[in-house]
C-alpha cells in the first residue's frame, strides 16, 4: 500500500523536518501551508494521514479538522495535530474537534514516526 501523508503547516523548518523524517521512512509527503484552502487539498489528495498544525494563516487547524470530520470520505482519516502550546485547553479543543492524536512542538523524530505509524496501523 502506498503510504501518503499531507502535512499542513506553515513553518518551513518544521515542514522540512517532518518531510525528511517521513520520506526516509518510505512515505510520500505532500505539504500545504495555507489554512484557507487546506480542506480542499485534503479532498483532492486523499492521503492516508494528515499532520495538521493548529496555527495557520487563513483558518485554524481546529476549523480544518472540523471540516475533515464533517465531510463524507474523510471522517475516519487519521489526523495528528501539532501545536506549539502544550496547554490543556488546546488538547481539549483538539480532542473535541476529533483529533486522532496530539503532539506539541518541539518534538523528536522518534515521536513523529511512532505517532504516524500507530495512527496508520489503526
Identify which of 54, 42, 46, 43 has the alpha carbon closest to the alpha carbon of residue 93.
54
> CA-CA distance, 117 to 69, in Å (whole number)?
21
pLDDT > 90 in the chain, percent: 83
Domains of the chain: 4-121 (3.40.50.2300)
Locate 121 and state its grid cell: 496501523
In this structure, what is the dihedral angle of CA atoms 19, 24, 26, 31, given to the nearest 10 degrees? 10
Would strands 49-53 and 4-8 be described as parallel, antiparallel, or unpaired?
parallel
What's the whole-model pTM score? 0.94
Query: How confident is the model over 34-51, as pLDDT tens digits?
Result: 999 999 999 999 999 999
Amino acid at each position: 500500500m502506498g503510504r501518503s501523508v499531507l502535512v499542513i503547516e506553515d513553518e518551513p523548518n518544521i515542514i522540512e523536518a517532518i518531510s525528511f523524517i517521513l520520506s526516509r521512512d518510505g512515505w510520500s509527503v505532500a505539504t500545504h501551508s495555507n489554512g484557507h484552502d487546506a480542506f480542499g487539498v485534503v479532498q483532492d489528495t486523499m492521503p492516508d494521514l494528515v499532520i495538521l498544525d493548529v496555527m495557520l494563516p487563513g483558518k485554524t487547524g481546529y476549523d480544518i479538522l472540523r471540516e475533515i470530520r464533517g465531510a463524507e470520505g474523510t471522517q475516519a482519516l487519521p489526523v495528528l495535530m501539532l501545536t506549539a502550546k502544550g496547554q490543556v485547553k488546546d488538547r481539549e479543543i483538539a480532542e473535541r474537534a476529533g483529533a486522532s492524536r496530539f503532539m506539541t512542538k518541539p518534538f523528536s523524530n522518534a515521536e513523529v514516526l511512532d505517532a504516524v505509524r500507530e495512527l496508520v496501523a489503526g
